[in-house]
Amino acid sequence: MSRPLFYVPAGMLDGIQPGDLVEVGGPEGRHAVAAKRLAKGEGVDLADGAGVRAVGTVAGAEGQTLTVGVERVAREPRPPFRFVLVQALAKGDRDELAAEAATELGVDAVIPWQAERSIVRWKGERGEKALAKWRSVVVAAAKQARRAVVPAVEAAHDGARLAERIASARLAVVLHEDAVEPLSTVLETFAAQEGDEGEVLFVVGPEGGITPDELARFTAAGARLALLGPHVLRSSTAGPAALALAGDRLGRWRARDGRADS
């Protein structure tokens, strides 16, 4: 059985050593005690959302406070490259589903993209609420996957801002059904280059597709068009599929995180 993970505020695990006790309160502590009903001696992990994981056992569970005896502390190593999913806003919850699955698959950041053909529009208070919802979805997915790092969900980008981001990326791939070069080939060529720093962007368009003007702008900024596979995928599955392939081809899935074996 997998060990449950609970998030603590940033910096709370700084300086923690084996043998220390850490008290987890608030919603996380309440969930651990009231919902999970954790008992003394059960294994549990704590994480700060930035890569530090404390592995320990329950020393106490009373009221709304979980007390954990720390057995070891691990800082997860920085993975090669930084994977970023640029997800066009989509109707229904398809964009949120993409962000959720991408988090489980190891993405480092998610950028909502207000594409020209996006039916959904983020404006004012509605946009703020939508962004908060995405962030909530990502936190929940990271916890489900027991990740010590919670991916950042950045503010929505328009086409101009996205083009700037593409220009500064180590590699930017626009997934497009009319592309000729397979994504696997793009990744294999990229993997052969020296160094493992920088961002790798995967750009996914809306249901109506990416406009010719957007494609021209992004390729002029340095993006490469790539074909993901023989079939046309939904906006909710294209990004996660690309991340799964990239995780394997670029070495992201060849190392373990700091979890204890169970």
Range scoring the smallest mean pLDDT among 18-22, 68-72, 117-121, 213-217: 117-121
What average pLDDT does range 120-146 have in this prediction? Answer: 94
User: What's the token pair of residue 142?
Assistant: 């990271």
**pLDDT grade, residue 128 (50/70/90)?**
very high
What average pLDDT does range 93-107 have in this prediction? Answer: 95
What average pLDDT does range 168-193 have in this prediction? Answer: 95
pLDDT at res. 18: 96
Indicate the average pLDDT of the chain.
92
For residue 24, the surrounding DSSP H or E stretch is strand 21-24
Could you give the percent of the chain with pLDDT greater than 70? 97
Instruction: To the nearest 10°, report the CA torsion of 46, 51, 52, 57.
Output: 30
Q: In what order do the strands lie in the sheet with 65-75?
A: 5-7, 43-47, 52-62, 65-75, 21-24
43 pLDDT more than 70: yes
262 pLDDT more than 80: no
The per-residue pLDDT for range 181-200, each reduced to its tens digit, is: 999 999 999 999 988 889 99
**pLDDT grade, residue 234 (50/70/90)?**
confident
